[in-house]
Structure 1
Amino acid sequence: MIHSRIRVRGRLGPDWSDRLHGLRIASLSGAEHDETTLEGPLPDQAALQGVITTLGDLNLALVSVEVLETDASPSIPSTHDSH
């Protein structure tokens, strides 16, 4: 699981949350431009890339992508011959 925060230039309504893996969506209006933050857990790197691709398809300029925490995958024990 990857907990991420993505910021884009532009406005995105909360109704997009279901189509973007359930990320929380918050929009802020600024003096120069609107900005939207999407935050929450994603199952893996492919899901993160899918969200970024969808935002690009919507012509929203990417401002930043932060990975806030990642669940460590279980390590695979190495096998050593004792010869």
Structure 2
Amino acid sequence: MMRLLYSALWWLLMPFVLVRIWRRGRKEPGYRQHVGERLGFYDAVVAGSRPVLWVHAVSVGETRAAEPLIDALLQAWPQHVVLLT
């Protein structure tokens, strides 16, 4: 039930989120880049035909802390590519 409520709320608020990104992008043009990635859409070209290991970090600190993990993952599975979000 909560997931349904959350999803419905997200879709209702999406137009406002996009307007906010557009408005902020007027002052900071770089802010409008990669909007699709902010919403979880990535090109298949990122990985090509290689399998993907997806690592998600919320903050800069988490991203930095994930570096040893990413190194270990790539060492264990060298045929994979890492997608860091």
The two structures have a TM-score, normalised by structure 1, of 0.26
The two structures have a TM-score, normalised by structure 2, of 0.26
